[in-house]
């Protein structure tokens, strides 16, 4: 199954994707995670995108589209994928439809207040990228990842100014994709407000899996 996860920052896309890969046996492809790995490795791509991401703005369409096109051409993505955080603009959605047709788009429905609460308490493993939350999903030790023992940190773009910018960018550039995909008849709305287990159940029901 070829899925797109669409939703505001902090809606829980990465958290649900981590649960859904086990269920659907497809790779989780997060453009944000790819960019963060590139930044950590100080690669040419990482050096190019770091300031843009830390400020909460979008990386330019051409760079992002090329990256996803190459990733979707790999063997493990042929039977399906979960695309998390791409597309995020109408030009990205139009480009994607020319090289891969998604079966369904999952729209994470959540108010701004919940997003701020989730991002304000998010912590991430620097090594494996697992998401934690200081209230809703605490690691056993606040500095060490339960899954791999890696260091837990706060993302640079989870600072308050960057979060406000990301929400603004979401409303202006990404939210129009809801109608874009609804008109194509492939959009599914999932209530992203309840607990992670309930969101997983809502997702399974909505997809019929
Ligand atoms: P990206 O990494 O995609 O960030 P984002 O879209 O802002 O989304 P987040 O990862 O912040 O949130 P999420 O929905 O995954 O929530 P999570 O599961 O962590 O992109 C980062 C940046 O890269 C962008 O700003 C941009 O600069 C660039 N970029 C990426 N893609 C791009 C593109 N296509 N084009 C251009 N630029 C691009 O959950 C959040 C918190 O809530 C966690 O602490 C979690 O534990 C907790 N939580 C999750 N679910 C629940 C729940 N049900 N109940 C309680 N707590 C929960
Ligand atoms: Mg994420």
Nearest to 68, CA basis, from 27, 37, 46, 99: 99
- Which residues in the chain land under pLDDT 50? none
User: Which of 2, 118, 123, 166 is flagged as catalytic?
Assistant: 166
Nearest to 23, CA basis, from 157, 177, 165, 206: 206
Nearest atom in ligand 1 to 9's CA? 7
pLDDT digits (tens, 9 = 90+) for 181-209: 999 999 999 999 999 999 999 999 999 99
Atom 1 (ligand 1) nearest CA: 32
Q: Give the ligand with the smallest distance to the CA of 89.
A: 1
Nearest to 167, CA basis, from 56, 87, 36, 50: 56
155 is catalytic: yes
pLDDT at 6: 98
Nearest to 9, CA basis, from 173, 143, 136: 173
* Buried b / exposed e along 48-59 (16+ C-beta atoms within 10 A): ebbeebeebbbb
pLDDT at 184: 97
pLDDT at 141: 96
Residue 112 · residue 167 · CB < 8 Å: yes
171 is catalytic: no
Nearest atom in ligand 1 to 169's CA? 25
pLDDT at 105: 98
pLDDT at 205: 95
Looking up tokens 């086990």 gives 22
Burial class of residue 117 (count of CB atoms within 10 Å of its CB; 0-12, 13-18, 19+): middle
Atom 42 (ligand 1) nearest CA: 118
What's the CA gap between 87 and 82, in Å, rounded? Answer: 12
Q: Give the ligand with the smallest distance to the CA of 108.
A: 1
CA 172 to chain centre: 17
Query: pTM for this one?
Result: 0.96
What's the CA gap between 207 and 172, in Å, rounded? Answer: 28
88 is catalytic: yes
Nearest atom in ligand 1 to 198's CA? 53
Looking up tokens 């997060």 gives 30
pLDDT at 182: 98
Question: What distance in angstroms lies between residue 97's CA and the mean position of ligand 1's atoms?
Answer: 23
| Domains with residue ranges and CATH for the chain | 2-26+79-110+168-204 (3.40.50.300)
pLDDT at 76: 97
pLDDT digits (tens, 9 = 90+) for 17-49: 999 999 999 999 999 999 999 999 999 999 999
| Ligand 1 binding residues, C-beta < 6 A | 7, 9-15, 30-32, 35, 52-53, 56-59, 64, 85-86, 88, 92, 118, 121-122, 131-133, 136-137, 157, 166, 195-196, 199
The C-alpha angle with vertex 2 and arms to 207 and 56, in degrees rounded to 5, equals 95
């Amino acid at each position: 199954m070829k899925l797109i996860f669409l939703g505001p920052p902090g809606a829980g896309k990465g958290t649900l994707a981590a649960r859904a890969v086990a269920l659907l046996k497809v790779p989780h492809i997060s453009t944000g995670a790819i960019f963060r790995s590139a930044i950590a490795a100080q690669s040419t791509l990482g050096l190019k995108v770091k300031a843009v991401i830390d400020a909460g703005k979008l990386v330019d369409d051409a760079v992002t589209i090329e990256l996803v096109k190459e990733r979707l051409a790999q063997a493990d993505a042929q039977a399906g994928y979960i695309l998390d955080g791409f597309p995020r603009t109408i030009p990205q959605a139009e480009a994607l439809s020319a090289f891969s047709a998604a079966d369904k788009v999952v729209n994470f429905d959540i108010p701004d207040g919940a997003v701020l609460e989730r991002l304000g308490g998010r912590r991430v493993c620097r090594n494996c990228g697992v998401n934690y939350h200081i209230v809703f999903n605490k690691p056993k030790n606040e500095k060490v990842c339960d899954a791999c023992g890696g260091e837990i940190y706060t993302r640079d773009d989870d600072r308050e100014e960057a979060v406000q910018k990301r929400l603004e960018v979401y409303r202006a550039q990404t939210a129009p994709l809801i109608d874009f995909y609804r008109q194509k008849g492939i959009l599914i709305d999932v209530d992203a407000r309840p607990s992670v287990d309930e969101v997983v159940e809502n997702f399974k029901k909505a997809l019929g899996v």
